[in-house]
Amino acid sequence: MADYKKYIIPHSHSLERGNRESLMGHHSKVIWFTGLSGSGKSTLAGGLEEYLHSHGIHTYILDGDNIRTGLNSDLDFSEESRTENIRRISEVSKLFVDAGIVVLSAFISPFKEDRNSAMNLVGRENFLEVYVECPLEVCEERDVKGLYKKARNGEIKNFTGISSPFEEPEDADIVINTANNSMEECLKKLVEKVEPLLQL
Ligand SMILES: Nc1ncnc2c1ncn2[C@@H]1O[C@H](COP(=O)(O)OS(=O)(=O)O)[C@@H](OP(=O)(O)O)[C@H]1O
Ligand SMILES: Nc1ncnc2c1ncn2[C@@H]1O[C@H](COP(=O)(O)OP(=O)(O)O)[C@@H](O)[C@H]1O
């Protein structure tokens, strides 16, 4: 352990997560969306947030493009930076859970080890992994932001699915296939799984 760390002594406050959850009227949780660019992470996180919000649940979305223009604006798309990106987001998610809020984290999070580290940091019981499954060809066909085209012609390096790996989750808590199901069907499946977990 680094020497300076020996002199950091956390303060224990009187109010805890349970007190905050009671005030909110629901449990806090991290709903972690992982999947290729264009698979539907942001769309589903947004749809789920709207539903939960309208049912009195306090939520907050952490989304790749947003966090990467602020907190993580110093990180690129190398493997090391992606790992650090997920590590910081995991720490932020953990704080939100302690604050009593339902966090919807939508990041490609391509590496299994990083997703597992996120789950272990937040705590297994607080973490729900949602694999937003969609074949690369469909994501590429959608090409919401025109990035796949740029990745194919070499303008963007290390692009997930093209020139950087995506390790498919093998034991996600929920798998949502957005290529074969409508947005409404996907959201219904999500709501059915998530809502009961938030009841006090
Ligand atoms: N090289 C490369 N590879 C993948 N994605 C890229 C890249 N460059 C920019 N973008 C845009 O950044 C968004 C992904 O950021 P994330 O923080 O979710 O990525 S990661 O979890 O660190 O892998 C991703 O957003 P989504 O499409 O919402 O996934 C892209 O818009
Ligand atoms: N069943 C579905 N669920 C979510 N998105 C879908 C679905 N079917 C089509 N789409 C479309 O796919 C695109 C997904 O984009 P986005 O949510 O930004 O993905 P990501 O955040 O994973 O990059 C959107 O244009 C959305 O309308």
Q: pLDDT digit of tens for each residue in the chain (200 aa)?
A: 888 999 999 898 999 999 999 999 999 999 999 999 999 999 999 999 999 999 999 999 999 888 999 999 999 999 999 999 999 999 999 999 999 999 999 999 999 999 999 999 999 999 999 999 999 999 999 999 999 999 999 999 999 999 999 999 999 999 999 999 999 999 999 999 999 999 99
Ligand 2 center–CA 39 separation, angstroms: 5
Q: Which of 33, 34, 41, 43 to mutate to test the pocket of ligand 2 (most atoms within 8 A of CB)?
A: 43
Q: Which atom of ligand 2 is nearest to the CA of 36?
A: 22
Sorted by sequence, the CB contacts under 8 Å of residue 175 that are 6+ apart come out as 130, 131, 133, 169
7 in any annotated domain: no
15 in any annotated domain: no
Residue 190 sits in a domain of what CATH number?
3.40.50.300
6 in any annotated domain: no
Instruction: List the domain range (segments joined by +) for residue 45.
Output: 22-198
Classify residue 184 by burial, with Cβ atoms within 10 Å: 0-12, 13-18, 19+: exposed
Report the pLDDT value the prediction gives residue 64, as an integer from 0 to 100. 81
% of the chain residues with pLDDT over 90: 95
Report the pLDDT value the prediction gives residue 65, as an integer from 0 to 100. 80
Residue 125 to residues 40, 97, 100, 173: CA-CA distances in angstroms? 25, 11, 14, 11
Cα 141 from Cα 83, distance rounded (Å):
28
Output the six-digit token pair for 104: 């919807």
Question: Does 150 appear as a known binding residue?
Answer: no
Report the pLDDT value the prediction gives residue 58, as an integer from 0 to 100. 98
For the stretch 143-170, pLDDT in tens is 999 999 999 999 999 999 999 999 999 9
Question: Does 64 appear as a known binding residue?
Answer: no
For helices 79-98 and 17-24, what crossing angle results, to 10°?
Answer: 70
Cα 187 from Cα 116, distance rounded (Å):
24
12 in any annotated domain: no
169 in any annotated domain: yes
66 in any annotated domain: yes
Q: Is the CB of 160 under 6 A from ligand 2?
A: no
H or E, element range at 112: helix 112-122
57 in any annotated domain: yes
Q: Which atom of ligand 1 is nearest to the CA of 75?
A: 22
106 in any annotated domain: yes
Say how many domains are in the chain: 1
Report the pLDDT value the prediction gives residue 193, as an integer from 0 to 100. 98
Q: What is the ipTM of this complex?
A: 0.99
